[in-house]
Each structure stands twice: as structure tokens, then as C-alpha cells.
Structure 1
């Protein structure tokens, strides 16, 4: 099979021929129809994630059809259209037994703990616990958006953020996570302030339902601007990027008893930001992480999609080939494309 491949961190990524994978006893092989190009893949290539071992095939967000079954897989068939969460639960650890497969003690992540989906085929274990059947009306490209950014935003807003109708939601950064959060917050009855430094991203945020947009390159005090718009602060605020500035702005813009949701990965010099604990105490704020979503929680999100209340297809940006993805992955830190870039041509 053809796959993107690198043998050292920050070394050139290239397309190469690798052996077709075989399924584990509890796993399947999926023929990849579409794969999302995510900033997390760039972090893996840079060497920011200790789960990545060399040599490596990146990619963790995808949809496709089952091409081969492990001997212990009973509830799936070759040809089934599927996707899956990027963090796959083992099904037997204490976290999985309480329904929290997204923080499994023995998790498997394609593109991180194992070979990823930037390839014609990808093998994944734990199939019974993690595969999600795709609705017929949901195409592969749109489905590829779900497995990381969309599900993380959905759980972050709906579950961790406990959004109520009428709540103000501040979304800091309008990449894939941020744009997903805007759609989801609006579908659940929220009012949204979107923040970014790129005019084109803010325009897309408005099209997806943001009530107000703020250009952080033109406004010195984003938290103050949000508090003014919302009449005292947002009830829920999301750092969808993972930088010291967006994290602190997200906390500082909250109303009393507001909830900060950290979705963007904090790496490098941003790994340990100085959290303003004074306001956290005085305002009884909540600081909450959100890491993916369990396969068993997909039905609620899929119902919103099939009913037309949210539309992951609206997040799609460029559609590229596997060859083009090699260059796109290496450029992600200095060229952030509008919308979600999807690889859908593998030959």
C-alpha cells in the first residue's frame, strides 16, 4: 500500500510503499476513503508526543470501509462504512468500565501509539468497543472531520461545558476545533463570540453561526471586549488553539461560575501557562479539559447531523492527494488552511 512515512522527527515526510496491514484478533483493517489533516499530526511529526515511535505513518482522523476482520470480531462485516474516535478504549480498564473510553488506561491512537491513516489501509484494534457505523447520508469526507476535532468540540461544549440554551460561548481560534465548536454551540441554543487573527476564518465563523466575531490582531484586550458583548462574561469559553494567550484570554473572559474548556494542545513553551488563580477562586470558575469522545456517545451527535442541525461538511476546506499531504503536513505551523483539509486521493 501507499502511505506517508517519516523515519526521524522533523525529517522529510514522503510517500512510500509499505506492506498491507493485517488485523489483530480483536481488530479490523479499514480501507481509508478520507482522512483529515490535523495540527496534532504536525505535533507528532515534530516529536512533541512521546507516544510516537519511529519509523512512523501519521494520521488519526478518518473514515472508510472495513477491508479485513480479526477472528474475534463478531458485530462487523467487510464493506461496512465506519469511523472511530481518535483515542480508542480497550474496553476492560477502570476508565472503560465506567464508560470513559476517551481516557482509557491502555488507549490506542492511530497515528500516535500505532501506524496511522495517511495510507490506503490502516489496522486498528479494539474494534467492537470503538467502531462507529456511518449513516448512509453522511459522506466519507464529512465523516473524516468527526474523529478528532468535531467529537472533541462536541463533548467539550455539550458535556464538559454543560451548555444551556441562551448561554454565551467564547471560542478562541477558528481552526477545525473552533469552527466545530461554533456550529455545535449554536445547535444547542448558545450565543457565540468567535475570536481569531485571520479575517477569512472570522468570515467563515459568521457563516457557521457566530453572533459576533473579534479580530485579536486589532483588539488589545480580548477578555474585556467579550465581557462587554456578553454583559459580564461568557458562561462557557473554549481555547481551541492551545497557546498561553488563548488559554489566559479564555479564562479571563468568563462570567462568574463560568467554565473554561481546554481543547487545544499545550506544547513547547506553552505547556505550563501561568493560570490566573485569583479570578478562578474569586469567581468560582471551572477549568476543564476535554479529550475526544467515546464511541458510545456518537449517536446524539450523529442525530444532530442527520437532522441537519449541524453540518460537518460546511467545515471542509481543501481536498488533497496523499502526495500533496506530505508537503501540507510539514507546513502546518506556518500555513494554517481555511477549514479542514481532507486527504481523499490515495493513489
Structure 2
């Protein structure tokens, strides 16, 4: 059966997502037709739905945490075949200086910043079918559910951050925040041989962290700094990963890490923007490292795929039980935007 159209979810304004239909783009020789099976709602997506990221523009055919099955391949595609389960990495141009150096693409005519000829922004990840460049797709273990395989993108962002943080086996790492990204960071750091302590305020998230086997710290029932000092014999953590963004968390992190050569990774973002107040002499004399991270490179996607495919990182506990069809994408965004939720998956 020839597939001529695609149905897709689109944000049209603050608080409103709907389903539309458009002609399916023609598949080129280096491209792949994918039957997309699941797309998980990322924080970026539901923040725009909430009106916190209006600068991204409308109409936004958003989404980027997606997985599906190959339907057909172009004549120059050699590494994929119909029936392969794949997940979506970033769409890159492959020719800009940044791509050539193995870094993130800076070409605004490619990927999520591109505006389609019919006026849509985004990557059309909440769609039943899509045509993708073969270089943007990575094979996934078919034993993973589509919703699990779709975690490749957020896990790739975690891999990028841990690479910048330079974690080493036997180091103590404090992960602040036991949401989806916090527990992905915690699992990946543990897989790299670190001792991981997870700090969280919400009891149900603390319980999930416990069930994953982590040392946990209830930040509402203790002084986090004092507790970390107790757990590390007064030394402090080698590194802290801030998977939530808040002014209070930013300030506490300065005291969670060891006095000299401590490292802090600012993984999360928030709106309005949190602040941090620190004397530059403190950074100087303590040799503190304040590290930012965002996105991922292709090598990070490959590592993330390996972690999922080999079962090193388990993501099933991070998927909400309620799953939504494409026709109910508005309800899906409403649940995803509810505080305390893990990933909400839209089945396509």
C-alpha cells in the first residue's frame, strides 16, 4: 500500500495541541520512510504547551523522543532495511564545520529550527509516518517497546553531560532531582562505576529511586548538605548533577561538592531563569568547575543506544501508565505538564 499522507500532532498556540494531515514528503536516495510508533513528551514540548517557551514559534510540529519501524529505504541506504526498529537522533547537515568536528549541527536550515515549505516548525515526531535522513536513525533492540526505544534521545543528552563532567569509577556523584532526567543521569553514572546518591523532595519519586537500588536522600526531611557530608565522611561529593533548576538548588550545590576540585553539572533548565550567586574568588581558590550541557552529538546517541539495547539503563519505570493515541494528544500534553509526572508516551 502506497502511503501518501501523514497525520501529525501540532501545537497551534499556548495550551492547544491538535492533529492535522499533510502530504508525505517524497523519499530521497539517502532517506528512510519510518512508521513512527511512539513519541514521548519532552519537557521542552510541554513547557511550550504551558506557554513558557513561546519563542519557539507556531505552528510547532514538535517532538524528538521517537521510535518506530523502517517501512522503506532509499537506493543509497545500505545499513537499514524494512522491519528494523529505529530511534530518532538529531537531523544534521553533515557538512558544516561543527558536524565535521563531530559536534552538534549549527545549520539552522536543518532539524528542529527548519521551517517546512508549508510553514511548520519542528521535526514532526508526533506523526504516524515520517521521511528521515538515514544518518539520523539508529537501530534499536526489537525487545524494547517503542516507548522505551524513544528514550535514546534524552539518554544521549545524559551521556553528553557525563562526558563533560568526566566522571570516573568509584567517584561519588549526587544527582539532585529524581524525575525522568535525574534517574537517567543516576543510572548512567552508576553504569560508569560511580557511587550515586539521589536527592529528591517527592515521595513517589524517592520510592522509584529506591526500587532502582539507589541511595536516596529526602531533601524535605534533612539538610541536604549535612546529609551528604555525613554520607561521605565529611569530604563532600566529587560531582553534583543538577537535574532540576532552581536558585536554592544552585546555591546548595556549591556546598554539596568537596571543597577543592568539586564539579557541578547544570543539566536542567527552568523558566523563569534560576539565579546563582558566587564569588569568582571562590571558584578560583576552590578550583570549582561549573559545567553546562545541552543536547548531544552522534557519538552520544550511539552510546545511549548501546545502553538501552544492552539493558544497562532501564527506562520502563520512567514511563507513565497512561498512554495516549495521537487523536488524544491534547490530553497527553495536559498529563505531561502535571507536576511530578515521568514521561508520557503518545502511541502513533
Please tell me whether Structure 1 or Structure 2 has the larger radius of gyration of its CA atoms: 2
Residues 1:114 and 2:117 aligned together? no
Counterpart Cα distance in 2 of 1:88 and 1:246:
33
Residues 1:245 and 2:231 aligned together? no
8 A Cα contact 2:239 2:263, kept in partner = yes
The Cα shift of 1:88 comes to: 3.1
The Cα shift of 1:341 comes to: 2.2
Normalising by structure 2, report the TM-score.
0.84
Residues 1:163 and 2:167 aligned together? yes
Counterpart Cα distance in 2 of 1:245 and 1:88:
36
8 A Cα contact 2:32 2:74, kept in partner = yes
Q: Which residue of 2 aligns with 1:310?
A: 313
Q: Which residue of 2 aligns with 1:146?
A: 152
Q: Which residue of 1 aligns with 2:290?
A: 287
Change (3 A) 1:163 1:140: same
| Cα offsets for 1:226-249 (capped at 9, x unmatched) | 233223211121111222233333
Q: Which residue of 2 aligns with 1:202?
A: 206
The one of 121, 127, 136 aligned to 1:130: 136
Counterpart Cα distance in 1 of 2:246 and 2:74:
41
8 A Cα contact 2:199 2:218, kept in partner = yes
8 A Cα contact 1:60 1:110, kept in partner = no
Q: Which residue of 2 aligns with 1:4?
A: 9
8 A Cα contact 2:45 2:63, kept in partner = yes
Q: Which residue of 2 aligns with 1:33?
A: 37
8 A Cα contact 1:6 1:13, kept in partner = yes
Counterpart Cα distance in 2 of 1:116 and 1:273:
36
Q: Secondary structure at the match of 2:344?
A: strand
8 A Cα contact 2:149 2:308, kept in partner = no
8 A Cα contact 1:44 1:58, kept in partner = no
The one of 188, 192, 203 aligned to 1:188: 192
| Cα offsets for 1:90-142 (capped at 9, x unmatched) | 211111111113x5444523899524312212344xx2432211133333221
8 A Cα contact 1:186 1:209, kept in partner = no
Q: Secondary structure at the match of 2:92?
A: coil
Change (3 A) 1:27 1:259: farther
Counterpart Cα distance in 2 of 1:68 and 1:275:
54
Counterpart Cα distance in 1 of 2:294 and 2:189:
17
8 A Cα contact 2:91 2:136, kept in partner = yes
Q: Secondary structure at the match of 1:234?
A: coil
Change (3 A) 1:166 1:327: same
Q: Secondary structure at the match of 2:291?
A: strand
Structure 2: 5+ residue stretches without partners: 1-5, 115-119
8 A Cα contact 1:34 1:140, kept in partner = yes
The Cα shift of 1:198 comes to: 0.5
Q: Secondary structure at the match of 1:186?
A: helix
Residues 1:91 and 2:97 aligned together? no
Q: Secondary structure at the match of 2:323?
A: strand
C-alpha RMSD of matched pairs (Å):
2.8
The Cα shift of 1:324 comes to: 4.2
Residues 1:179 and 2:183 aligned together? yes
| Cα offsets for 1:240-284 (capped at 9, x unmatched) | 1222233333343111212211221233242x5435544322221
Residues 1:228 and 2:230 aligned together? yes
Structure 1: 5+ residue stretches without partners: none
| Cα offsets for 1:52-89 (capped at 9, x unmatched) | 3311222210100234556765544444321122x433
